[in-house]
């Protein structure tokens, strides 16, 4: 079950994180209030995501996301330190520049392609770290 949830998260992150990239990245850099939702259909699988940045709480940035994919719902609750936010947003900024100048689109054609995405890698680094993020399946 955990593998399915992590796959769902990995599949949706590049689509939703980059959906409104500039506003989201800036909000994440500053840990300022932000809310966004989106849908994606990849290979016949529909997924929805609702993400929220609540701001600083106890010296950490509170980030919440709910991902629904088929019958699976995953709630992701993260508390990022400033250096962690800097790492995540630096990777996102660099990836956005690469996409802009290469003319390529985000590749979600397969699980392997998704896992190779640098934005997915940096997010998964923290999502899979229970000291930073908690993932609950419903």
Average the pLDDT over each of 23-37, 57-71, 88-102, 112-126 and give the range with the smallest value: 112-126
By the 8 A CB rule, do 53 and 61 touch? Answer: yes
How do residues 70-115 score in pLDDT, each as one tens digit?
788 889 999 999 999 999 999 988 888 777 777 776 665 566 666 6
Is the pLDDT assigned to residue 62 strictly greater than 80? yes
Is the pLDDT assigned to residue 66 strictly greater than 60? yes
Kindly state the percentage of the chain with pLDDT values over 70.
Answer: 73
Question: pTM surpassing 0.75?
Answer: yes
The stretch 119-134 carries a mean pLDDT of 90
Domain boundaries in the chain?
2-137
The mean pLDDT of the chain is 80
Average the pLDDT over each of 13-22, 34-43, 92-101 and give the range with the smallest value: 13-22
The band of 120, judged by pLDDT with boundaries at 50, 70 and 90, is confident
Place of tokens 């940045």: 53
């Amino acid at each position: 079950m955990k593998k399915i949830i992590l796959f769902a998260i990995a599949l949706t992150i590049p689509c939703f994180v980059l959906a409104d990239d500039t506003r989201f990245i800036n909000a994440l850099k500053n840990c300022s209030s932000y809310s966004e939702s989106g849908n994606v259909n990849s290979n016949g699988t529909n997924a929805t995501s609702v993400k929220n940045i609540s701001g600083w709480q106890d010296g950490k940035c509170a980030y919440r996301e709910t991902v629904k994919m088929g019958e699976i719902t995953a709630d992701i609750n993260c508390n990022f330190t400033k250096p962690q936010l800097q790492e995540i947003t630096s990777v996102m900024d660099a990836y956005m520049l690469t996409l802009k100048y290469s003319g390529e689109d985000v590749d979600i054609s397969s699980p392997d392609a998704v896992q190779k995405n640098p934005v997915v890698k940096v997010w998964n680094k923290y999502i899979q770290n229970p000291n930073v993020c908690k993932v609950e399946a419903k």
